């Protein structure tokens, strides 16, 4: 990302019922750091996400609560998805006496270790690969987690928060509708700056369209500044992916590998970014295969030794339009 990052304060009041506490972990993928949000007008607050566990975060969170009100406390920590920069602060919060006084419930959408990504081609299901659960390996096993479910509602004084399961960035990714403000906490499917990454493009686009159908007025992203008005940003994200999809389709007038596509579409990018870009192009190809618009020549293919096609296998295949 070449866009200059907007400067964000460590702690900011964003509305009558929402405060942002930065996770203290700025970086290439986290931008200014992970946004964590305190929600509610009364003493009892919901905390949405909790950073990746840097030492300065928990003291900042405690100071932020006290700045809101001496009586303020956290009743629930809601984790948007299983990337560590969104849950890494849990152990620090739960082991700090200041937060232990009231007891805190932790919530996250469950994910099955047997989940897999599939692509449908000519009425046959081709299993592409099992879900990448590496982002869950470091989730603290001794913390009791209450499973979130789609359309679940959390309520505290001045805030009604509805869970929206929006997989795509990850299979367990959720966004959250704030009824009182007609706004959405978008976690990592829409950022305040730049574009987002995803594991499943079909699911990701459907998630974006489901948010668009809500007609929100404001977006509270997982990284970067708030987005207002909301609709142009959502439409921009959808249009960007649709444009890239069409570029990939146009390129496939002749059979090509993902890297061959990248070397043309991303020719102005540093070579160091070409392999990540090839994985992104492959995700577009997998969606297009699911839509029955592209495939690769399987006439001389035997089943892979591991029993299912891994994404790494498909980077070397020549794809073509149907």
Range from 221-230, 239-248, 283-292, 299-308 that averages highest in pLDDT? 221-230
How do 218-221 and 183-187 pair as beta strands?
Answer: parallel
pLDDT digits (tens, 9 = 90+) for 222-246: 999 999 999 999 999 999 999 999 9
Look at residue 21 and give its three-state secondary structure: strand
What DSSP state is assigned to residue 224?
Answer: S
Cβ contact 222:188 at 8 Å: yes
- Alpha carbons 156 and 20: distance in angstroms, whole number: 17
Enumerate domains of the chain plus CATH numbers: 11-121+138-241 (3.60.15.10), 252-321 (1.10.10.10)
For the chain, report the end-to-end CA distance as a whole number of angstroms: 34
pLDDT digits (tens, 9 = 90+) for 31-77: 999 999 999 999 999 999 999 999 999 999 999 999 999 999 999 99
The verdict on pTM exceeding 0.75 is yes
pLDDT digits (tens, 9 = 90+) for 267-280: 888 888 888 889 88
Q: Locate 63 and state its tokens.
A: 């100071």
pLDDT value for 114:
42
pLDDT digits (tens, 9 = 90+) for 112-147: 654 444 433 333 334 344 444 455 667 788 899 999
Going by C-alpha positions, the residue among 204, 202, 206 that lies closest to residue 188 is 204
Residue reference for tokens 């946004």: 35
Burial 10-27 (b: 16+ CB within 10 A, else e): bbeebeebbbbbbbbbee
pLDDT value for 130:
40
- Alpha carbons 199 and 266: distance in angstroms, whole number: 20
Within 10 angstroms of residue 309's Cβ, the number of other Cβ atoms is 21
């Amino acid at each position: 990302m070449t866009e200059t990052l907007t400067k964000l304060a460590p702690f900011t009041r964003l509305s009558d019922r929402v405060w942002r506490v930065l996770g203290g972990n700025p970086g290439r993928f986290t931008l200014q750091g992970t946004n964590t949000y305190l929600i509610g007008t009364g003493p009892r607050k919901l905390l949405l996400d909790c950073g990746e566990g840097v030492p300065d975060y928990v003291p900042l969170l405690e100071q932020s609560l006290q700045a809101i009100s001496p009586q303020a406390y956290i009743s629930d920590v809601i984790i948007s998805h299983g990337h560590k920069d969104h849950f890494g602060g849990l152990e620090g919060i739960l082991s700090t006496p200041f937060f232990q006084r009231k007891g805190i419930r932790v919530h996250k959408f469950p994910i099955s270790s047997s989940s897999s990504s599939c692509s449908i081609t000519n009425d046959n299901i081709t299993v592409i690969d099992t879900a990448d659960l590496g982002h869950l390996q470091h989730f603290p096993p001794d913390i009791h987690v209450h499973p979130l479910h789609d359309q679940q509602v959390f309520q505290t004084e001045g805030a009604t928060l509805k869970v929206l399961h929006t997989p795509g960035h990850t299979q367990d990714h959720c966004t959250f509708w704030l009824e009182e403000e007609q706004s959405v906490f978008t976690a990592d499917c829409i950022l305040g700056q730049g574009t987002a990454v995803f594991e499943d493009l079909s699911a990701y686009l459907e998630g974006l369209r489901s948010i668009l159908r809500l007609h929100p007025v404001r977006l509270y992203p997982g990284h970067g500044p708030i987005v207002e008005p909301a609709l142009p940003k959502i439409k921009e994200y959808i249009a960007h992916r649709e444009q890239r999809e069409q570029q990939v389709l146009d390129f496939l007038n002749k059979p090509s590998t993902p890297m061959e596509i990248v070397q043309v579409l991303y020719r102005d990018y540093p070579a160091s970014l070409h392999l990540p870009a090839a994985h992104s192009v492959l995700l577009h190809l997998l969606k297009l295969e699911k839509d029955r618009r592209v495939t690769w020549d399987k006439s001389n293919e035997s089943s892979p030794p591991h029993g299912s096609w891994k994404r790494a296998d498909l980077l070397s295949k020549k794809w073509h339009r149907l």
